[in-house]
Amino acid sequence: MVFAAITMLLSNAVSLTPPPTIAASLAGAEIDIAFVDVCLETHPALRAEDFAKRNTRYVAERSKSEGVWGPLRDLEVEDDATIAHRICHRNEVRAALHRIDVALDAHAAAFKSATPGIDRGLWIGSMHVCAKEVLDAMIGGDPPALSIRLTKDATAVLETVISRSIDTPIAIRLDGAVIARPVPYDPIASGRMAISGPTRETLDRVLRALRVPCP
């Protein structure tokens, strides 16, 4: 019954698990990032700025996916001994930087393809929350927080989504923009949750989004 509820609620949304291309593209980038990082230890002037730019982008891309699906535990990269056998020639470093770009572009494309509709409405990780899933919602307190109570079926989905992000920031998005990154420590089995941190104006927008009919 829980599986049926999840299938029903997510039939027009994002999968609870990322497609293989998400982890594969990030793993490809991480292999070459590790290699260039090793090279910079012995050749500090070897395109350090180019490496820093790509490493920053890698962190952002990985954070984007893990905010939706939780930790990508299946990333497999070369160990230090394997990396050490690669030769830090300038041309090889240049080629590695290019491969990082290709891998991160592939991840960005895979993320966009795997998250249809994530730029509209309220999303908690990979779950789209809309009117039929909400029993009640209200803003209160100082500083303000939005309290939400979900239906039984939506609660089952939320519990699954949250359980995949334990101890990892989960992205709460409103119309595509991340408005909060709470770190859950336990699954939410009660169907009650609160969003705090954003301004009252942003919480008002979230409240309006929760009244929009589900697609």
Residue 10 has pLDDT above 80, yes or no: no
Residue 96 has pLDDT above 70, yes or no: yes
Tokens 């100082």: give the residue.
142
In sequence order, the 6+-apart residues with CB closer than 8 A to the CB of 179 are: 172, 173, 195, 197, 198, 202, 206
Model confidence pLDDT, tens digit, residues 131-182: 999 999 999 988 899 999 999 999 999 999 999 999 999 999 999 999 999 9
Model confidence pLDDT, tens digit, residues 13-67: 688 889 999 999 999 999 899 888 888 877 766 678 888 999 999 999 999 999 9
Closest CA to 123 of 180, 63, 187: 180
Residue 113 has pLDDT above 90, yes or no: yes
**What share of the chain has pLDDT > 90, as a percent?**
63
What's the pTM value of the predicted model, to 2 decimals? 0.84
Residue 123 has pLDDT above 50, yes or no: yes
Maximum alpha-carbon separation in the chain: 61
Quick one: pLDDT at residue 88? 80
Quick one: pLDDT at residue 169? 95
In sequence order, the 6+-apart residues with CB closer than 8 A to the CB of 200 are: 139, 144
Rg (CA), the chain: 20
What are phi and psi for residue 132, nearest 5 degrees? -70, -15
Structural domains in the chain, sorted by start: 20-115 (no CATH), 122-210 (3.30.1360.200)
Q: How many CB atoms lie within 10 A of CB 95?
A: 12
